[in-house]
Amino acid sequence: MRALVRKTSTIGASMTAIAVLAACSPDSAAADGPDGKETAVAAGPAAQKGGSEFLSFPAPGRTWKELPGTGGVKYANVRGDLAGSGSYEAFVSFPAGKDNPPHVHSEDLPTVVLKGTFYADIDGRRVQYPAGSYYRLPAGKPHLSGCEKGEDCLLFQYQEDRFDLVPTKTGQ
């Protein structure tokens, strides 16, 4: 049953990621609140019947927090808390040229690259992910990762349980 629940919530998180990406598009429409600013609004009858709510998360409204001990990596939560326990969805900002040490994650880590070029060294092979890329890193997979030099990276990540970065001796 856990696998079914996980699959269902992963689909929900993926749909939220897609909605957030659509909201980042300069051609997207947004709902305005009473003060004329974008705001989160319920999706009418679907929300009243226990369905999903429409979520609007404009860039100027993000609250950024630095992850301690990371050398400038910051996050802005959309749902849950990347630095807490439980599921989350968050924007993550990496300074250009910032490398992570060799590590693994306890949960699968889906990532959408919105700006810059992120990379992952997996099984001795470096793959670059420019803006518009997606990857899903399996739980327990040793790797190195970071943001290439030249432009800061902006990512959107989500996980079912919690975020962690468990250091390893090598990323290979």
Residues 146-160, mean pLDDT to the nearest whole number: 95
Res. 84: pLDDT tops 70: yes
> What pLDDT does residue 58 have?
85
Residue 38 binned pLDDT confidence (cut-offs 50, 70, 90): very low
Task: Look up tokens 């790797």; give the residue.
Answer: 143
pLDDT of residue 12: 46
Mean pLDDT of 98-125: 93
The residue type found at 60 is P
Instruction: Give percent of the chain with pLDDT exceeding 90.
Output: 45
Question: Does 170 or 8 have the greater pLDDT score?
Answer: 170
Residues 6 or more apart in contact with residue 137 via CB below 8 angstroms: 105, 108, 109, 110, 111, 120, 122, 143
- Quick one: pLDDT at residue 50? 54
Q: pLDDT > 70: what percent of the chain?
A: 69
Domains of the chain: 2-30+62-167 (2.60.120.10), 31-56 (no CATH)
Nearest to 128 by CA among 103, 149, 108, 157: 149
Whole-prediction pTM value?
A: 0.69
Q: Is the pLDDT of residue 15 over 70?
A: no
* Mean pLDDT taken over the chain: 76
Find the distance separating the first CA and the last CA of the chain, reported in whole Å. 33
Residues 6+ apart with CB under 8 A from 163: 82, 83, 88, 105, 107, 109, 157
How sure is the predictor about 45, in pLDDT bands with cuts at 50, 70 and 90? very low
Nearest-angstrom CA–CA distance, 43 and 40? 10
By the 10 Å C-beta count (0-12 exposed, 13-18 middle, 19+ buried), 81 is classed as: middle
CA dist 15 and 3 (Å) reads: 18
